[in-house]
Amino acid sequence: MCGIVGYIGRRRAAPVLLDGLKKLEYRGYDSVGIAVLDRGKLAIEKRSGRVAALAKAEELSGTIGIGHTRWATHGAPSERNAHPHRYGKIAVVHNGIIENAAELRAICEARGEVFSSETDSEIAAHVIAHYFEEEGDLLRAVYRAAGELNGSFALAVLAEGKEEIVCARRASPLIVAEGEGEGFVASDIPALAAKGRRAYVLEDGEFARITREKVQIFGADLALRLREAFLLEEEELAPEKGRFAHFMRKEIEEVPEAIQNSLFLSDTLQNKEICEVLCQTYYFDIVACGTAYHSGLCFACAAERLLRVPTRVHIASEYRYSDPIVPRGTLTVAVSQSGETADTLAAARLAQERGSKVLAITNVVHSSLSRLADFTIFTGAGREVAVAATKSFHAQLAALYSLLAVLAKYRRSCLPPLEKFPDLAREVIQKSECAAGWSPYFLGSKSVFFLGRGVDRCAAMEGSLKLKEITYLPSEGYAAGELKHGTLALVDGRTPVVAIITDPQLADKTMNAVHEVYARGANVFLITCFPALCTQKEVTASVLIPACPSAFSPMLSVIPLQMLAYHVSLAVGNDPDKPRNLAKSVTVE
Ligand code: M6R
């Protein structure tokens, strides 16, 4: 999704900005641009496409600048719609969505102002420029403009003749930092990281003024706020693909390590306060999106089956507008790899307003979710670059299952052990390579069904999401027993079916669905821990995963599904790491 960088110092700004933008590339974007103040005058370069397309901009001189990677929301991906947007003396980069842009645009146009893009973001440049004319002070102009903007924004703003960058944040992340004679801003820590830099995460409603000498933070009333800085670590080495052709494949290989690093290791689980909250937890509410929502579904199966804790799993974007009922004794668990997903943050906030404590499960230290939550368990997946979540899913499961194990202790109950999962996952990765040979059956298919019951249905939903996301094939993750209530009408010889069967109590039942789709000509691919099923005549090919407690089986059964999606994506000629239209971190609603 969109990314922001900004620099003021003694070095030339353009190379610093381009370097920062490269570090934000993994988020997904379609156009780029930078604006530099050179002897008080704005110079802007923007392009449709990747940061590399902006190489010429490196020659711009000037020591103050802002840059942006854009992921189109309002207006097509094009050079014209790329940021920075300029109006008069003002240049702006914006993340988020300005919801009243059309209204404000009409007001500006009535004043005779001409717009040069179709974006909602350009309105920020116009409104700020209007107030800058009146105030002559950039901070006050941004402050007054922010008061007129509805929606979400992270803004970094330059003005001709001003040796400063002014920033504003509302519901879209922004971090400011200072070094010796330098100041920085970015939407994401990796774009800022360098040992010894002092950083501050802006809170909602705050503003910042960055000069070469200092960073100042102002509250919603523009009163100066004193803040404790945190020290940034040494610049993280940009992740490399190593011996793998794609990050996604490499990240599947890293699943065992991600599980290992997320099992029981979080201090949070030993923390006295969370222990007290867990002792009084009678219900879990999970709020999450996409893959994180699916790990929540898997958790719910385990929590209900093993500990009989009623657990509801909510799509965060639905929860936030659902006027939720939050009974006393509910612990809300917000799951998010990035910790920046706008809907998950809003859902977590609402749960707190309704009196629930929020436990965050996230992969990113200093993320907005970890700062908002009452407690956080950091997963140990390491940086995930591919847009399709793989190892972070397993890390979330490991953290969530560990949480259950701790709860089981308080309840003097006992859970099946989790320690063997890293090794078992390693075994499954090897076995899953055969999915490469399944691709021809999926090429040219009309649609794909992933079927399962109980916990296997949750795995099926994740397998389907992965396939859709990186192959663009229509697919559904479906409850096997529900098929004949309508959807079976879609199944024929051009509808491959992937069945997941890991629960001994439900194996025969899911096999009924396998018979039904086979009878309609479908090729069936099976992921199971029951060897006898692999040799059934209905099964075209299978991956036999090791036996494990079925409540925890998604930890293993999802691996072949990830691998299948990866290989089909290659077979259709896609780049699995960068699916069209998608971003790694979804910071807008
Ligand atoms: O960062 P989050 O875990 O909050 O992201 C949630 C979803 O956007 C994410 O899981 C998305 O569904 C993945 N691209 C799926 O592979």
CB neighbourhood size of 31 (10 A): 25
Ligand 1 within 6 A of 342 CB? no
Q: How many residues does the chain have?
A: 589
Name the percent of the chain lying above pLDDT 90. Answer: 80
Nearest-angstrom CA–CA distance, 7 and 214? 12
The CATH architecture assigned to 2-231 reads: 4-Layer Sandwich (3.60)
Ligand 1 within 6 A of 289 CB? yes
Nearest-angstrom CA–CA distance, 469 and 268? 33
Domain definitions of the chain by residue range: 2-231, 241-419, 432-575
Tens-digit pLDDT profile for residues 35-46: 999 999 999 999
Atom 9 of ligand 1, residue of closest alpha carbon? 290
Which numbered atom of ligand 1 lies nearest the CA of 466? 16
Start-to-end CA span in the chain (Å): 12
Ligand 1 within 6 A of 292 CB? yes
How far away, in angstroms, is 101 Cα from ligand 1 center?
28
Q: How confident is the model at residue 184 (pLDDT cuts 50, 70, 90)?
A: very high
Indicate the top mutation candidate among 262, 338, 344, 369 to test ligand 1's pocket, ranked by most ligand atoms within 8 A of CB.
338
How far away, in angstroms, is 580 Cα from ligand 1 center?
15
How far away, in angstroms, is 66 Cα from ligand 1 center?
28
Q: How confident is the model at residue 490 (pLDDT cuts 50, 70, 90)?
A: very high
Contact indicator for 462, 294 with CB cutoff of 8 Å: yes
What pLDDT was estimated at residue 365?
87
Which numbered atom of ligand 1 lies nearest the CA of 337? 3
CATH of 241-419, one of 3.90.600.10, 3.40.50.10490, 1.10.10.10, 3.40.640.10: 3.40.50.10490
Residue given tokens 């009408």 in the structure block: 489
User: Does 56 have pLDDT greater than 80?
Assistant: yes
What pLDDT was estimated at residue 269?
67
What pLDDT was estimated at residue 196?
67
Indicate the top mutation candidate among 291, 340, 362, 396 to test ligand 1's pocket, ranked by most ligand atoms within 8 A of CB.
291
> Which amino acid would we find at residue 222?
L
Contact indicator for 110, 127 with CB cutoff of 8 Å: no
User: Does 237 have pLDDT greater than 60?
Assistant: no
Nearest-angstrom CA–CA distance, 499 and 477? 10
Structure-model confidence comparison of residues 136 and 580, the more confident one:
136
Ligand 1 within 6 A of 122 CB? no
Hey, what are 240's tokens? 């490399």
Atom 4 of ligand 1, residue of closest alpha carbon? 336
Atom 8 of ligand 1, residue of closest alpha carbon? 290
Q: How confident is the model at residue 192 (pLDDT cuts 50, 70, 90)?
A: confident
Q: What average pLDDT does the segment 253-272 reach? A: 82
Q: What average pLDDT does the segment 349-360 reach? A: 97
User: Does 266 have pLDDT greater than 70?
Assistant: no
User: Does 195 have pLDDT greater than 80?
Assistant: no
Which numbered atom of ligand 1 lies nearest the CA of 582? 14
What pLDDT was estimated at residue 235?
56
Ligand 1 within 6 A of 337 CB? yes
Q: How confident is the model at residue 275 (pLDDT cuts 50, 70, 90)?
A: confident
Ligand 1 within 6 A of 469 CB? yes
Which numbered atom of ligand 1 lies nearest the CA of 290? 12
Domains 2-231 and 241-419 alike in fold: no
Structure-model confidence comparison of residues 237 and 138, the more confident one:
138
Region of residue 459 (phi > 0: left; psi between -120 and 50: alpha; otherwise: beta): alpha
User: Does 82 have pLDDT greater than 80?
Assistant: yes
How far away, in angstroms, is 98 Cα from ligand 1 center?
23
Ligand 1 within 6 A of 173 CB? no
Q: What average pLDDT does the segment 481-502 reach? A: 94
Hey, what are 468's tokens? 């859709």
Atom 16 of ligand 1, residue of closest alpha carbon? 388
Hey, what are 272's tokens? 């006295």
Q: How confident is the model at residue 302 (pLDDT cuts 50, 70, 90)?
A: very high
What pLDDT was estimated at residue 101?
95
Q: What average pLDDT does the segment 540-558 reach? A: 97
Q: What average pLDDT does the segment 305-314 reach? A: 97
Ligand 1 within 6 A of 251 CB? no
Ligand 1 within 6 A of 345 CB? no
How far away, in angstroms, is 259 Cα from ligand 1 center?
18
Name the percent of the chain lying above pLDDT 70. Answer: 98
Please name the fold of domain 432-575.
Rossmann fold (3.40.50)
What pLDDT was estimated at residue 25?
80
Ligand 1 within 6 A of 347 CB? no
Q: Write down the pTM of the prediction.
A: 0.86
What pLDDT was estimated at residue 54?
87
What pLDDT was estimated at residue 583?
80
Tens-digit pLDDT profile for residues 287-298: 999 999 999 999
User: Does 33 have pLDDT greater than 80?
Assistant: yes
CA separation, residue 460 to residues 44, 476, 488, 526 (Å): 47, 8, 16, 11
Nearest-angstrom CA–CA distance, 142 and 155? 9
DSSP-derived pairing of the beta strands 539-544 and 524-528? parallel
User: Does 193 have pLDDT greater than 70?
Assistant: no
Average pLDDT, the chain: 93
How far away, in angstroms, is 531 Cα from ligand 1 center?
33
Q: What average pLDDT does the segment 47-64 reach? A: 88
User: Does 329 have pLDDT greater than 80?
Assistant: yes
Tens-digit pLDDT profile for residues 374-432: 999 999 999 899 999 999 999 999 999 999 998 998 888 888 999 999 999 999 999 99
Q: How confident is the model at residue 267 (pLDDT cuts 50, 70, 90)?
A: low
Nearest-angstrom CA–CA distance, 463 and 456? 10
Q: What average pLDDT does the segment 456-480 reach? A: 97
Nearest-angstrom CA–CA distance, 491 and 495? 6
Catalytic residues: 2, 584
CB neighbourhood size of 213 (10 A): 12
User: Does 278 have pLDDT greater than 80?
Assistant: yes
User: Does 264 have pLDDT greater than 80?
Assistant: no
